[in-house]
C-alpha cells in the first residue's frame, strides 16, 4: 500500500514577500492619488458654488439698497460702523451673511457681514457696504469709520480677503455686462479698473494668498 507523504507549502519569503509589499505600496499610492484628485475636484466645485452664491448676494444687496434708498439723496448720515447692522435690520443684507453675534465684530451692534469664505480675524467683516463719494472716497476700502456721505448717489460693496483665484473670477463675473446693472466703477486692491474687468486684467493684479480686496461701486438709482 503506497504511503503518501503530506507536503507542506512553503511560506512566501525573500523576493516574493518583498514583491507583495511593493504591490501593497502601489495600491496605497493609487488610492492616495484618487483621493487627492477627488479632493481637488470637490474643492474647485465648492469654490465655484460659493462664487455663484456671492454673485447672487451682491445682486440681492444692490437691488435691496436701490429699493430702500433709491428715492433719497443718499444712503445714510451715519458712519458705516452702524450701516451694516442697519442693513441687516431692514432686510437689505441676507441674514445668511451675518457673522454670529458672539464673534469679534467691532461695529456698534456687534454685527458683521461675511463672504462665504469668511475671515473672522477681520473685525469689520469681509463684506462691507458704504456710501461712496467720488473724488473724496479712498479707494483702499469702505472705511468702517468714515462718514457715510448722505449726499452721495453711489454706494460701494467690498469683498475682502479673497484668494487669487476668487479675486480673478469674481472681478470678471460681478463686473460682467450680463450680471448687475448700474455698476459705475470697480477697484482691485485699491486700483481703479473700468468695468467690465477682463480675466486677463484681473490675473495681472490679483495677488497670491488671501489678501485681495474688490470694491464695486453702483449708482443708487
CATH code assigned at 208? 3.30.1690.10
Bond preceding residue 32 cis, omega within 30 of 0? no
Q: What is the pLDDT of residues 118-176, one digit of tens each?
A: 776 688 889 988 888 776 656 656 754 444 444 578 889 999 999 999 999 999 999 99
Domain extent at residue 145: 50-219
Considering only residues 33 and 190, tell me which one the structure prediction assigns the higher pLDDT.
190
Whether residue 10 lies inside any domain: the answer is no
Is residue 62, in this structure, part of any structural domain at all?
yes
- H helices of the chain, in order, are 15-69, 80-89, 164-175, 199-205
**Number of independent structural domains in the chain:** 1
Residue 153 lies in a domain: yes
Is 12 among the domain residues? no
Q: Are 192 and 213 within 8 A, CB to CB? A: no
User: Which band of pLDDT confidence, cut at 50, 70 and 90, is reported for residue 17?
Assistant: low
Per DSSP, the three-state class of 137 is: coil
Classify residue 19: in a domain, yes or no: no
Global confidence as pTM = 0.78
Range with the poorest average pLDDT among 11-15, 102-106, 108-112 = 11-15
Amino acid at each position: 500500500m503506497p504511503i503518501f507523504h503530506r507536503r507542506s507549502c512553503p511560506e512566501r519569503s525573500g523576493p516574493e514577500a518583498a514583491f507583495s509589499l511593493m504591490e501593497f505600496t502601489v495600491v496605497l499610492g493609487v488610492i492616495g492619488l484618487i483621493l487627492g484628485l477627488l479632493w481637488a475636484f470637490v474643492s474647485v466645485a465648492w469654490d465655484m458654488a460659493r462664487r455663484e452664491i456671492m454673485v447672487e448676494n451682491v445682486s440681492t444687496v444692490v437691488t435691496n439698497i436701490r429699493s430702500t434708498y433709491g428715492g433719497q439723496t443718499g444712503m445714510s448720515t451715519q458712519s458705516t460702523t452702524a450701516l451694516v447692522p442697519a442693513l441687516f435690520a431692514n432686510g437689505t443684507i441676507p441674514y445668511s451673511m451675518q457673522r454670529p453675534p458672539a464673534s469679534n465684530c467691532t461695529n456698534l451692534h456687534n454685527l458683521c457681514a461675511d463672504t462665504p469664505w469668511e475671515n473672522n480675524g477681520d473685525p469689520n467683516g469681509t463684506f462691507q457696504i458704504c456710501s461712496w463719494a467720488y473724488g473724496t472716497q479712498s479707494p483702499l476700502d469702505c472705511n468702517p469709520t468714515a462718514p457715510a456721505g448722505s449726499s452721495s448717489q453711489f454706494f460701494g460693496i467690498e469683498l475682502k480677503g479673497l484668494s487669487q483665484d476668487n479675486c480673478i473670477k469674481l472681478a470678471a463675473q460681478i463686473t460682467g455686462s450680463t450680471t448687475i446693472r448700474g455698476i459705475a466703477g470697480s477697484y482691485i486692491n485699491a486700483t481703479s479698473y473700468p468695468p467690465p474687468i477682463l480675466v486677463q486684467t484681473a490675473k495681472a493684479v490679483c495677488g497670491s494668498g488671501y489678501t485681495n480686496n474688490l470694491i464695486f461701486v453702483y449708482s443708487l438709482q
